[in-house]
Structure 1
Amino acid sequence: MSTALIEAPSRTEVAAPEANAPGRPARWPHLLAAGVYLALGLVVMGRYLADPQGTLTPQIPADHTWFQWLLSHGAHAVRHLENPLFSTAQNAPDGVNMMANTSVLGVTVPMAPVTLLAGPRVAYVVWMVGACAGTALTAYWALQRYLVRSRAAAFVGGAFAGFAPGIIHHANGQPNFVSNFLIPLIVAAVIRLGIDGRWRRDGLVLGGLVTWQLFINEEVLLVTAVACAVLAFAWAAFRPDQARRRWRSFGAALGVTALTAGVLCAYPIWFQFHGPGSFSGMPAFNTWGEDPVTWVTFARDTVAGSPEAELTQGRTEQNSWFGWPLVLTVAAVTVALWRRTEIVRTAAVVTGVAAVLSIGPALRFGGELTGVPGPQALLGEDFPVLNLAMPSRMTYAVIGAFVVVLALAWDRLPARAFRVAIVLALVPLIPQPLPAMPDRVPPRFITSGAWRAYVPAGRTMVTLPLPSNWAGREQLSWSAWAGHEYAVPEGYFLGPDVDGAGRMGPAHLSRTTALVHLTVEAGAAPTVTAEDRATVWTEVARWRGAVVVVRDTAGDAAYRDLAGQLFGPGTQVDDVWVWDLRGRY
């Protein structure tokens, strides 16, 4: 959400007259807005509600499972009072730097009671519904309190903040980009810094919000910081007299913010970049840019969208897929409001800057690379701050600017035609229930706790396949289901390669996983050599493996054959096959 550093109206100026009418509770509109937002969140996750334990996104299933694993990580840290910045549940014995990954501790730790009571798969669905509805509600609160008089205007803006097409697209397995409920509060706090002389309090509040957001999504926080910097300079250019009056108190409050967030975040940030398992960067991560044609394209998960659009535009993150009616409507109301308020002019500046930056290092048009260099190429790939974010996600600032323009247009343009146009532009963007597919629950060997008899303290469970970014997604879900009570080698995470740069998974590909890859590619286990067997046993010894586990299903028969060649005859235990390695090395 983006707006301008304005002299905020008083609470009575923004209060909707109809909300305070005799015999009508003032809170009724807020409760109605919250109810509608919650209902929309349930629609989005509708295909998951009947069976949250056995449902998975078909879009990015590995990320879906990863965030379930993160919920278990937060719950495990709370339950055992452990350091949540690091985990030994994956990549044993080296562990995983959780600050260097999308750990989302700002959500998973508060949600620990839900995860412990209902399990990570149910908690995931609760999280996603709450993230959509919560973001819409905080945007609604900020708009009706500080910007618009009409509760209906605030409702429209809040609905777009929580359910914009780009946000819903990330709901396919990436709740960290849906959990934006702090962003409207952060922007409102920036706008209010020192406005009434209480610069210490304002700085402390903003510092606390920034710290919390750091533990939810650093990339969205970075985009928000860039957007706030742009809007601050734009507002100062549009209102130089007010800027001169406010710069001292604003600067003092900003200093308190920096000090507060710096003290609270110093160790976690140090741990992220210098702690065990840290890395220097992700090569090619910041090269994904937006295509201008997608701005007028309907996103797949909206009522007007369809998967066919992805055939021409590519299966990219649909951050800017606003659809042509909304783009035209925002442009029209921006022109209509241009002379009336500097807020809209500031929002237009934020939109323009963010749209340009979102193009990335090379211009794409209609799904094809044009060869025309983008702004990132002109600025340089190592341009400070911007080199830490994926360019296409700068469009989040555009979503915020659209929120402000839509709310102001509804509130301040007298012609009913504008409101009709806004409704007609937003109706095609109503989200559809997200696609879903069945997911197997872990074997009874895991869910019953029978595994405990085979994995003593300090030892690990070796599953075939091992969790990775290529195979073993299901085995990672076993770890999540078991609450991280046992450790696994390798895994699905970001860590350093041999040169210290970031990569998916451990620095070295194990021979065990290489043999699994050959098994998957051929559909049958390869012939294991004596050298293979010796190498795998060396790896198992390093991992402190206590038991090898393979599902007892026809689809896992090749893995069972591979394990038999490596470890000898196995034993069937309930619905798995096990190879007890204790005392064998």
Structure 2
Amino acid sequence: MSAPQGTDVIEDMPAMEVDLTVVVPAYNEERRLGPTLDAIVAHLSEDAGRFGQWELIVVDDGSTDGTREVVRAAAARDRRVQLVTSPRNRGKGHALRLGVAASYGRRVLVTDADLAAPIEELERLDKALADGQAAAIGSRATPGATIGTHQHRLRELLGRAGNFLIRRVAVPGIRDTQCGFKLFDGDRAREAFAASRLNGWGIDVEVLQHFRRSGWPVAEVPVRWSHQPGSKVRPFDYGRVLTELTVLKLRAAGPADVLAATLFLLMAVTLYSGRWIGPDSRYLPDSLQDQNQWEWFFAVTADSVRHLHNPLFSTLQGFPDGVNLMANTVMLGLSVPFAPVTLLFGPAVSLTLVMTLGLAATAAAWYWLIVKRVVRQRGAAFLGAALAAFAPPMVSHANAHPNFMILFMMPLIIDRALRLCSGTRVVRDGVVLGLMATYQIFLGEEPLLLASTGMALFALAYAVVRPAVAKASWRPLLKGMAVAAAVCLPIVAFPLYWQFAGPQSYKSVLHGDNAGNSPLALLSFAERSLVAGNAANANSLSLNPTEQNAFYGWPLVALAFTIVLRLWDRALVKALAFTAVAAALLSLGPKVRVPLTDVVLPGPWAVLSDKPLFESVIEGRVAMICAPALGMLVALAFERLVHTRSLGTQYLGMVAVAAALIPLVPAPLRTVDRVDVPAFVADGTWKSYVGRGESVVPVPLPDPGNAEALHWQTTADLAFPLPGGYFNGPWGKDRTGIYGASPRYTSNLLRDVRYTGVAPVIGKNWRAQARMDLAYWKAGVLVLAPQPNQDPLRKTVDKLVGHPATWTHGVWLWNLDGHGNFTP
């Protein structure tokens, strides 16, 4: 038989009544295939009445050796052996799809070319089908299975880990999805394989999922199995299976879902458009110094990955004491995976990419949760998710705090907790929840704490309005949470120990007596609101542009109140309303000043303000919990409006929703040209002045108010350490958390000159103290870049060092010997 090049070919395939078809995929199996075919033919021929009419189909998947000749030789001996060929190698999945499509058997057995499970094991699978199963899959993991020759120990462990993930994620309840020995009802097999889309190893899982969705019973049957040399399956192929299944799931998304995800990405790109114009040359001024800090976090993590250093600690800032990175917001869950991007393109590009994709992913995750749990109408879900992810507090944090706006794990955690309440697969869901919580800890602990607070508020309210549901849910929920804790704690135990008891750890970070929101902030508009933004008013009601944690606007608050009144009969609405109101009240802080008066009342946050973990929270951030709650309320209302029959009600409702949401649409984040790195650093001149173990000391030292020196350091590929810096670290005997390094006399003096512009009188005591501080910092060079008040700063350092500065490559510098002494 001949066929056009590039098409699949079925050789000598007559139509007939067949009781059993055996399908064997083969790729470059010239050496092993002959004995396999002989064994199958011999076994099926031993008892002609046992299996009835049978056929053996070998699918050659584009082999480049003599595989086809082996099959043709076997076919010459027995016409029941047939060959299907593929012009090129496309994978096991494609080969099985071809073979099953060419089959005629009432039952179809698929087996690998190495016959790791002997053909005699067909008896066991056949008995399961005779008992009413639609499929019987050979298993190496069920009781009764025996393994003759084992794989290499490492290979076996990796394979088990991969198979565990597949079981938990894709086909719960089946212990061994990847054993290549499976018997199917013929018609159902042809339907399932015809519906499959995967060409790789993932087709096994895809077909089993099809059987599950169709309600066709599947039995897992223990078999004898032996590892065969030359196996085509590698341990890391299990990861490929998970990737294939993920891609398949994404392809299954409907057009509306794809459109929603695309719009979320466009919204995120628009928000960060100023950065994307030139990631390395543009700066977000409303981030204050946080952009420098976060780029340093990504750079130091990538450097740790490249050199296999401890990613939880660094002495590149705060030299020589160092920085406890686990006690800072380094977001290892993203900075580690994106380390290759950081190393290739720099931390500015990497951070911009992470923040853009992370914001879009967060919106998509909220959309997924709302569609799954709240509404079915896609437009309603889009509005709700857009509000949850792009609400004014989120946009404010989008300037500077990726850990507070990259929250794609939160909807997944919420959904998994709700699954636990059903009590169907408590252990499985508990394990998954534990892994999710673990990952979120490496994305941000404070957001997880706030999300847990919101979930607790919602659960409390729902339990009050639906006590029967709460009574049925609390046992599986607690059991699942115990399982989650058992999974999570061993993984995070050491990182958390390092965070709270390791070098440069601290007890708590104090934010002042009251960092709560003003009641007016809940009703006002944020600075970056495109239509109604008011920078002066927003800044007067917030700590700074990165902490505008409320600002939902009075129209949205009024709309939410109306929605709650109209839909009050729904338990979900009551619980969401309580969650939003409680979070808003908590966000007011321990002391609440009544607007336009001098009256100060105790706030509900006072109950939590001194509790462990909560003592370090900026209480105004609790209002961020309101965003998803309000988003879900808007989604419920919009869905009701879409389905209402009254055109007047629909029109007025849509106008009200638009009036509430349009004022909150964010403008693109403001960007400015970045301050150039001095040529002294950029061109590498510093290398002539700094010896091994010495530091570069900027004048004044970098601190949370001016951390531009961190940009110098990342530009120089972190090749020199810096004293001072912008991070959280300990201060004093009590190890109280502060922003920046522990102050020293000289660093305080230089900071004061920077802000006041006044050069103080320098005597012997100041010079002696400066020499001690410079020796402590192991200063190789003092560097003064052009800046406001640079003249009094230069005069002050001249007197401290005892020698005038030298102008070199765009900076004033003083060369030191690492012991605090001037070196000409």
Distance (whole Å) between structure 1 residues aligned to residue 374 and residue 600 of structure 2: 42
Q: Kindly tell me: are residues 580 and 34 of structure 1, through their superposed partners in 2, closer, same or farther at Cα, counting changes over 3 Å?
A: same
Distance (whole Å) between structure 2 residues aligned to residue 55 and residue 483 of structure 1: 19
Q: Kindly tell me: are residues 148 and 239 of structure 1, through their superposed partners in 2, closer, same or farther at Cα, counting changes over 3 Å?
A: same
Aligned to 2:263: 36
Distance (whole Å) between structure 1 residues aligned to residue 295 and residue 790 of structure 2: 23
Q: Deviations over 1:111-158 (max 9, x none)?
A: 222222222223332233223222111111222233321111221111
Q: How does 1:23-62 map to 2 (within 5 A)?
A: 26-62=253-289
Aligned to 1:21: none
Q: What CA RMSD, in Å, does the superposition of the two structures yield over aligned residues?
A: 2.7
Q: Is the 8 A contact 1:546 1:580 kept in 2?
A: yes
Q: Given residue 401 of structure 2, which amino acid in structure 1 is its aligned partner? A: Q
Distance (whole Å) between structure 2 residues aligned to residue 464 and residue 204 of structure 1: 51
Q: Is the 8 A contact 1:288 1:391 kept in 2?
A: yes
Q: Kindly tell me: are residues 134 and 420 of structure 1, through their superposed partners in 2, closer, same or farther at Cα, counting changes over 3 Å?
A: same
Q: Deviations over 1:327-363 (max 9, x none)?
A: 1111212222221x32111111211221221121111
Q: Kindly tell me: are residues 504 and 388 of structure 1, through their superposed partners in 2, closer, same or farther at Cα, counting changes over 3 Å?
A: closer
Q: Is the 8 A contact 1:291 1:359 kept in 2?
A: yes
Q: Is the 8 A contact 1:497 1:503 kept in 2?
A: yes
Q: Are 1:221 and 2:436 counterparts?
A: no
Q: Kindly tell me: are residues 174 and 371 of structure 1, through their superposed partners in 2, closer, same or farther at Cα, counting changes over 3 Å?
A: same
Q: Kindly tell me: are residues 441 and 71 of structure 1, through their superposed partners in 2, closer, same or farther at Cα, counting changes over 3 Å?
A: farther
Q: TM-score, normalised by structure 1?
A: 0.89
Aligned to 1:403: 631
Distance (whole Å) between structure 2 residues aligned to residue 111 and residue 52 of structure 1: 16
Of 361-370 and 432-441, the range deviating more from structure 2: 361-370
- Pairwise CA distance, 1:48: 2.6
Match of 2:374 among 144, 147, 158: 147
- Pairwise CA distance, 1:426: 1.0
Q: Are 1:468 and 2:703 counterparts?
A: yes
Aligned to 1:458: 693
Q: Given residue 407 of structure 2, which amino acid in structure 1 is its aligned partner? A: N
Same amino acid, percent of matched pairs: 35
Aligned to 1:90: 317
Q: Is the 8 A contact 1:73 1:483 kept in 2?
A: no
Aligned to 1:333: 563
- Pairwise CA distance, 1:29: 2.1
- Pairwise CA distance, 1:536: 1.4
Aligned to 1:427: 662
Q: How does 1:496-575 map to 2 (within 5 A)?
A: 496-499=730-733, 500-507=735-742, 509-523=743-757, 525-551=759-785, 556-567=790-801, 568-575=803-810
Q: Kindly tell me: are residues 336 and 518 of structure 1, through their superposed partners in 2, closer, same or farther at Cα, counting changes over 3 Å?
A: closer
Distance (whole Å) between structure 2 residues aligned to residue 311 and residue 157 of structure 1: 27
Distance (whole Å) between structure 2 residues aligned to residue 63 and residue 285 of structure 1: 20
Q: Given residue 169 of structure 1, which amino acid in structure 2 is its aligned partner? A: S
Q: How does 1:258-337 map to 2 (within 5 A)?
A: 258-285=485-512, 287-303=514-530, 304-310=532-538, 313=541, 315=543, 317-337=547-567
Q: Is the 8 A contact 1:443 1:576 kept in 2?
A: yes
Aligned to 1:442: 677
Distance (whole Å) between structure 2 residues aligned to residue 234 and residue 554 of structure 1: 55
Q: Are 1:133 and 2:347 counterparts?
A: no
Q: Is the 8 A contact 1:464 1:559 kept in 2?
A: yes
Q: Kindly tell me: are residues 583 and 496 of structure 1, through their superposed partners in 2, closer, same or farther at Cα, counting changes over 3 Å?
A: closer
Q: Is the 8 A contact 2:524 2:554 kept in 1?
A: yes
Q: Deviations over 1:188-235 (max 9, x none)?
A: 121112536222221122112212222222221111111112222322
Distance (whole Å) between structure 2 residues aligned to residue 113 and residue 285 of structure 1: 39
Aligned to 1:77: 304
Q: Given residue 451 of structure 1, which amino acid in structure 2 is its aligned partner? A: W
Q: Are 1:104 and 2:334 counterparts?
A: no
Q: Are 1:382 and 2:382 counterparts?
A: no
Distance (whole Å) between structure 2 residues aligned to residue 483 and residue 345 of structure 1: 53
Of 453-462 and 148-157, the range deviating more from structure 2: 453-462
Q: Is the 8 A contact 1:190 1:228 kept in 2?
A: no
Q: Kindly tell me: are residues 369 and 554 of structure 1, through their superposed partners in 2, closer, same or farther at Cα, counting changes over 3 Å?
A: closer
Distance (whole Å) between structure 2 residues aligned to residue 518 and residue 25 of structure 1: 61
Distance (whole Å) between structure 1 residues aligned to residue 808 and residue 539 of structure 2: 46
User: 3-state SS of the aligned residue for 2:327?
Assistant: coil
- Pairwise CA distance, 1:513: 1.7
Q: Given residue 731 of structure 2, which amino acid in structure 1 is its aligned partner? A: D
Q: Kindly tell me: are residues 202 and 286 of structure 1, through their superposed partners in 2, closer, same or farther at Cα, counting changes over 3 Å?
A: farther
Aligned length: 561
User: 3-state SS of the aligned residue for 2:517?
Assistant: coil
Aligned to 2:56: none
- Pairwise CA distance, 1:552: 5.9
Return the structure number with greater relative CO, CA threshold 8 A, min gap 6.
1
User: 3-state SS of the aligned residue for 1:287?
Assistant: coil
Q: Is the 8 A contact 1:458 1:544 kept in 2?
A: yes
- Pairwise CA distance, 1:70: 1.2
Distance (whole Å) between structure 2 residues aligned to residue 228 and residue 286 of structure 1: 27
- Pairwise CA distance, 1:290: 1.9
Distance (whole Å) between structure 1 residues aligned to residue 425 and residue 759 of structure 2: 69
Q: Is the 8 A contact 1:313 1:366 kept in 2?
A: no
Aligned to 1:491: 725
Of 527-536 and 65-74, the range deviating more from structure 2: 527-536
Distance (whole Å) between structure 1 residues aligned to residue 608 and residue 403 of structure 2: 28
Aligned to 2:581: 352
Aligned to 2:143: none
Q: Kindly tell me: are residues 311 and 267 of structure 1, through their superposed partners in 2, closer, same or farther at Cα, counting changes over 3 Å?
A: closer
Q: Is the 8 A contact 1:235 1:342 kept in 2?
A: yes
Could you say which structure has the larger radius of gyration? 2
Q: Is the 8 A contact 1:57 1:435 kept in 2?
A: yes
Q: Is the 8 A contact 2:538 2:548 kept in 1?
A: no
User: 3-state SS of the aligned residue for 1:53?
Assistant: coil
Distance (whole Å) between structure 2 residues aligned to residue 240 and residue 199 of structure 1: 21
Distance (whole Å) between structure 2 residues aligned to residue 522 and residue 357 of structure 1: 38
Q: Kindly tell me: are residues 197 and 263 of structure 1, through their superposed partners in 2, closer, same or farther at Cα, counting changes over 3 Å?
A: same
Q: Deviations over 1:483-520 (max 9, x none)?
A: 3322111222222221321222233x323223313432
Distance (whole Å) between structure 1 residues aligned to residue 525 and residue 591 of structure 2: 23
- Pairwise CA distance, 1:432: 0.6
Q: Kindly tell me: are residues 517 and 387 of structure 1, through their superposed partners in 2, closer, same or farther at Cα, counting changes over 3 Å?
A: closer
- Pairwise CA distance, 1:562: 3.7
- Pairwise CA distance, 1:429: 0.8
Q: Is the 8 A contact 1:350 1:398 kept in 2?
A: yes
Q: TM-score, normalised by structure 2?
A: 0.64
Runs of 5+ consecutive residues of structure 2 not aligned to the other structure: 1-212, 215-250, 645-649
Aligned to 2:602: 373
Q: Kindly tell me: are residues 224 and 521 of structure 1, through their superposed partners in 2, closer, same or farther at Cα, counting changes over 3 Å?
A: closer
Runs of 5+ consecutive residues of structure 1 not aligned to the other structure: 1-10, 13-23
Q: Is the 8 A contact 1:45 1:434 kept in 2?
A: yes
Q: Kindly tell me: are residues 309 and 113 of structure 1, through their superposed partners in 2, closer, same or farther at Cα, counting changes over 3 Å?
A: same
Q: Are 1:157 and 2:384 counterparts?
A: yes
